[in-house]
Copies of this chain bind each other. A is one copy, B any other.
């Protein structure tokens, strides 16, 4: 079952021709979650051949434009495509007003329902949970109220051992029940215990999105042991004063958070437009946390092994 993230935009506020501002698409078991929605996101989705109608949940970290100016355009396109499915938006409570004033002046009454879920910025909260996934907010340290998000994919099912699949000719119809814990009785009446057939469920897997934020160790307890951490790196170390003043992070700071959180992998992004190439930023991150990678528009990272 899939668990991957597609980078739709990797830059900070000012876009370049090849680097759009922040937006990412998370695919968890073929359910799609849009994280931030900067200007240009709907075209970026099309470039990555992602069907717009499959997006039912959108998470907006904060109301700086480079994280949401593309939302009204995407919502309008949903409307023009005749969408009827409910759209859930997790964001600051002010967003609803901003969307509505723009719909009103254009005399647009959306043909689908929108449910706004207001974020709380005081402490981490579970904002969505079902049998398969859990999504938690991560309050960050920025100039306006900002939340990151921790997406955890629960793995409840046992998996059938490879050697068993080779040894026994088990009908496909039986596989689902065996994964849920049943024993298997073959056509000769022989009983195979579930513990012989399967191995325990893999541990849960997780992806944390932390942007925008200054260096902020308060997040460590929430993201501890995360498989992949996306952490903003607006600046390189020579601009640490700008980072601290503007409540953004350097590559070294992001890597330090990844190290202290025992993350499996770090993705850096939200680059200042001043950086023409990304290699120097990545090099700085790697001095602290070797397993670092650059977010780049169109790139896909698999979170599942």
Contact = CB atoms under 8 A, between A and B. Distances in A.
Interface of A: 13-17, 20, 39-40, 42-43, 46-47, 63-66, 69-70, 72-73, 76-77, 80-81, 92, 94, 97-98, 101-102, 105-107, 143-144
In the assembly, how many copies of this chain are there? 2
A42 B15 contact: yes
A65 B69 contact: no
Nearest to A42: B15
A30 B144 CA distance: 40
Contact of A13 (B15, B43, B76, B101): B76
A64 B72 CA distance: 11
Contacts of A92: 105
A159 B46 CA distance: 51
A43 B15 CA distance: 7
A13 B73 CA distance: 9
Contacts of A98: 101-102, 105
Given A105-B63, A105-B92, A70 B39 contact: yes
A189 to B, nearest CB: 59
